[in-house]
Each structure stands twice: as structure tokens, then as C-alpha cells.
Amino acid sequence: MTARMAEEPLLTMRGIVKQFPGVRALDGVDLDVAAGEVHCLLGQNGAGKSTLIKVLAGAHRPDSGEIVWAGERASFGSPQAADAAGIATIYQELDLVPGLSVAENVVLGHEPARLGFTRPRDAENLARTLLRRLGHPEIPPRRELGRLSAAGQQVVSMARALARDARLIVMDEPSAVLDPEEVRNLFRVIRELTADGVAVVYISHRLEEIREIGDRVTVLKDGRSVARNLPARTTPTADVIRLMTGRTIEYVFPERPETPPGDVVLEVDGLARAGEFADVSFTVRAGEIVGLAGLVGSGRSEILETVYGARKASAGTVRVRGSALRPGSVPAAVRAGMGLAPEERKSQGLLMGEPVFRNVSLSALARFARFGFLTADAELPAAGAITAQLDVRPADATRPVRTLSGGNQQKVVLARWLLQGCSILLLDEPTRGVDVGARSEIYGLIQRLSAEGAAIVLVSSEVPEVLGLADRVLVVREGRVVHEAPSAELDEGRVLDLVMESLDESSKERAGHE
């Protein structure tokens, strides 16, 4: 802990209470953050982390409690007030404008101007400087934000926070869509910021990140701070998990019964999509889990979406039980028994304003229609039964799906395809943004579905997750499968060597030119 961190805290939050109709989201939370430190905020989904940072950012007004900022009592009545005080927030659900350019998003609300006129060139120069600092000089400041990948948009959100010249930056799951090299860049920037006295509140479900970048930890559970100011690097992981969940959870994968897989149900042969990936071939048997490992941008998600028909292949075939699927046809894939849990479940997989039962029945609406009209009387019992089977909580299928935690939202996506009777499941980042307790449940659910005969293709940015769940692993690099092996024959170091090989080669090539 630096000398700076031993001084009076930059931020003190005491006894923060926030109540919503029927829910006490915060029940007397305490938090201290010092200048120049990385203070990690941990807790399961629904523990109150998001509500707390929205109170700090001025998006919610606390019902009671006290905030002291830079030695003075403060009340941030709006996001603009918090921003003006020097508090910047990078939300997990990015608050960017897809139709604007990268540069316009970076300076949004703080547009450089002279004599009443905005100066786009100054905005572009600032964006270019910040993107270079973040290790992404290749992102063009004039490009429309919506054309960037999820990882690219996350980088722009970080650049926007840096442009504020903030004294405290809140980062909510900033690494969720970043590959290992991008995470290293992020940590480098965080260390530069804290060396300059900037405070960082860092939220992540990846406990190994907390140990690497954090200084102190505050743990929330059920809207209360159950532990404060724990040393991030030396507090045992088991203790952190026990504080978060109230029980002991081994952060490992359930043992699978050694049953031989069944017949081949999914065949992908020479699949390609111009500019994204080429010559991808693999098979999946009933009861088998095949994992795709690779960096963000390697083509993993595009392969899954093309197999599913959400993207049209430029070459190759996809067969289910020997019958070729029509390229680019999602209905054909669904009729064949295939379902996709997409990478961005909130924007691509769920109707956030609709109730749980409607989200579950979405793929099978024809079953619940009478004379052309949907009937909740038919939908609700069927959806309720399948969500109860998956232990979706709260056990209320009429509840809006946006009120559920990330782990339970993921279960709703899976419930949809189980209700449809899908026997082939394509899972893209199934535990992104999901806490350690819910991860354990989802791992068990995936393995249970496999044991019951489902053929599963899994994409994850976390190599231990791929190795822990999959029977076989395909390593994807720059749009091609460069290695295939049983997971038992691989370890994390070997997989990372394979996915990073081209980066190492390009680094050597650049060094040779310098």
C-alpha cells in the first residue's frame, strides 16, 4: 500500500441505503477509496454493486447515507454533477452512441470548442492519442462506433473515461470482452493512472484479475458490505468466495461421468465466410462438448453464428444428422434442433422488457397460439416448468427478465432452447459477467445437458473454462483452426502459446524493421 493510500480517503460512502419497489438493493453499504489505489468491489450478481456505483455516479439518489468526496460532504444529483466533480464511470452496459463516430463518442458531453464552434479535428486528435495510449492505434477516430466489435467499443468507452481527466474512474467488468493482450494493456493504463494519483474502483468476476491489479477489496452480499479493505493480493480465494456466497464453493468444474459419446449429430465441413474465417471443419457427437479457444477477434463467434445460420457462409456445409442445412437460415437450424446462446445475451438473446416466460417461449410461439393469438395461459405453465427445472431465481416467470441477475438471465436463454427441444447447443461466452456462484451452477447445467445427450459447442475467452468443460478443443487463430486435441492433452500454457503464436511472430517482424 502506497503512502498516498494511507492518507484520508478520496471517497467515503457510509450507510448507503437504496430501496426500489419491493427490493432493498442497498442496506447500509460502506466504502472507502484512496487516491492512487485500485479498490476492487466484489459480490455475486444482485449483491448491489451496480446500484452502488450508480449512486456514486449520480444515476440514483440514495434514500439515506453519506458521501464524502475529497474531504467534503457531497450529493451527486445527476451524472453530470458526478462527472463535473471528477468521477467517470465505465459501465458494463456501455453508454455509447452507435451512430456517432469513435471521436464523437470519446468527447461526448465535453466537445472541444472555440468561439462557440465545435472542433472535430481536435476531437479526432484527442481520440487518436487516447486510443494509442490504450494500445489500439488501429481504431480510426472517424469510424462509426457501431461498426466496431464489442471489444473495440469497450476500448472506446475507456478512452472516453480517460478524456474526462477524472480523479476517480469506476470500471465495471472492463475486461469481459478483451483478449489477454488487451487486458495487459488495460492493466498498464490502470497502473499509470494510479501512479498519477487517480483512484480506480474495479469490478470483476475474474478473481485472478483482482489479485493481479487490486490493492484492497470490499465484498458486498445481499446489499451489505460484509468485508472491507481486505488485501487483494493475499486474501485467500476461498475466503473471498465464502464472503460473496455465504458458502464454500470450489472454483472447479464438476466431474463428468466417463460415458462414451453417441453418434455424430453435427458436421461442419470446409465452412468459410469471406474476411472472417476459412476452411473450418469439425464434428460433434451426442453427449460431447467441443470447445473453441482463441483470442477475441479470432473468428470464434463468427463461426458459431454461421453454423447457426445467423451469418451466411461463403463456402462449406453444415449437416445435422446427415442432412445439409440451408446456408444463412436460422429457421432451418432451429427446425433441425439447434439453438444459440449468443455472446451479447442482453442485446442479442433477450427481450429485456418482456417477462421471463415470453423470453423462454420465444422460439416456440406457434405452440402457444390459438386462432393466431398468443395466450399466456399456454405459455406460462410450460415456461414455468422449464425455468423451475433450471432453478431460475426468483421463481416467478412473470417477472421482467431485466430484473434477473446475469447468471439467471443466461439460464433463461438456455431454457428457451430446452423448451424448443434442441439437442445441439451453441454457447458463446456462457458465463460472461456471471459471478462465481452462478458459474458453478451453469457449469453443472452444461455438463448435465451433455450427459443427457446434448451436443454442445462452447466458445469462451477463458482458457480454463474451455479446458474444464470441453472433451475436445479446437484452437482458432486468425480465422483458422490451427490445432485440435482432447482437452486432457492440453493445458492453459499450451493453448495460449498456440493462440498467441502469430502475435509473437508479428512482434518479431516489427522489431526486425525497427
121 and 205: one domain? yes
In total, the chain counts a number of residues equal to 514
pLDDT tens digit sequence for 242-288: 888 776 655 567 777 777 889 999 999 999 999 899 999 999 999 99
Residue 449 maps to a domain: no
At residue 181, what is the residue type? E
d(CA 260, CA 287): 8
pLDDT tens digit sequence for 307-349: 999 999 999 999 999 999 999 999 999 999 999 999 877 777 8
178 and 241: one domain? yes
pLDDT above 80 (res 500): no
- Beta strand 72-74 with 64-69 is antiparallel
193 and 268: one domain? no
Residue 313 maps to a domain: yes
Contact between 4 and 35 under an 8 Å Cβ cutoff? The reply is: yes
pLDDT tens digit sequence for 68-79: 999 999 989 999
Residue 357 maps to a domain: yes
| Domain interval for residue 108 | 3-245
pLDDT tens digit sequence for 136-179: 899 999 999 988 887 788 889 889 988 888 899 999 988 877 77
**Average pLDDT of the residues in 377-399:** 85
Q: Report the pLDDT value the prediction gives residue 269, as an integer from 0 to 100.
A: 98
Query: What are the Cα distances from residue 466, in Å, to 277, 291, 356?
Result: 20, 6, 29
68 and 144: one domain? yes
Residue 450 maps to a domain: no
Residue 4's pLDDT band, with cuts at 50, 70 and 90, is very low
Mean pLDDT of the chain, nearest integer: 87
pLDDT tens digit sequence for 218-235: 999 989 999 999 999 999
pLDDT tens digit sequence for 84-139: 999 999 887 777 898 999 999 999 877 776 655 668 889 999 999 999 988 889 99
484 and 507: one domain? yes
Peptide bond into 394 cis (omega under 30): yes
Q: Which residues of 134-148 are buried (b: 16+ CB within 10 A; e: fewer)?
A: bebeebbbeeebeeb
d(CA 114, CA 223): 46
CA 279 from centre of chain: 28
d(CA 450, CA 170): 39
**Average pLDDT of the residues in 413-430:** 91
CA 110 from centre of chain: 28
Q: Report the pLDDT value the prediction gives residue 510, as an integer from 0 to 100.
A: 37
The CATH number of whichever domain residue 272 belongs to comes to 3.40.50.300
369 and 399: one domain? yes
pLDDT tens digit sequence for 431-486: 887 777 778 888 988 998 999 999 999 999 888 889 999 999 999 998 999 999 99
Q: 3-state SS string over 274-310?
A: CCCEEEEEEEEECCCEEEEECCCCCCHHHHHHHHHCC
**Average pLDDT of the residues in 176-199:** 87
Number of domains in the chain: 3
Global pTM value: 0.68
Q: Report the pLDDT value the prediction gives residue 506, as an integer from 0 to 100.
A: 41
Q: Report the pLDDT value the prediction gives residue 374, as an integer from 0 to 100.
A: 58
Q: Report the pLDDT value the prediction gives residue 30, as an integer from 0 to 100.
A: 97
Residue 443 maps to a domain: no
pLDDT above 60 (res 501): yes
pLDDT above 80 (res 415): yes
Residue 270 maps to a domain: yes
160 and 21: one domain? yes
181 and 240: one domain? yes
Q: Report the pLDDT value the prediction gives residue 375, as an integer from 0 to 100.
A: 61
Q: Report the pLDDT value the prediction gives residue 116, as an integer from 0 to 100.
A: 59
325 and 417: one domain? no
Q: Report the pLDDT value the prediction gives residue 508, as an integer from 0 to 100.
A: 41
d(CA 503, CA 175): 19
**Average pLDDT of the residues in 289-313:** 93
Q: Report the pLDDT value the prediction gives residue 504, as an integer from 0 to 100.
A: 44
Residue 305's pLDDT band, with cuts at 50, 70 and 90, is very high
72 and 214: one domain? yes
pLDDT above 50 (res 513): no
| pLDDT above 70 as % of the chain | 91
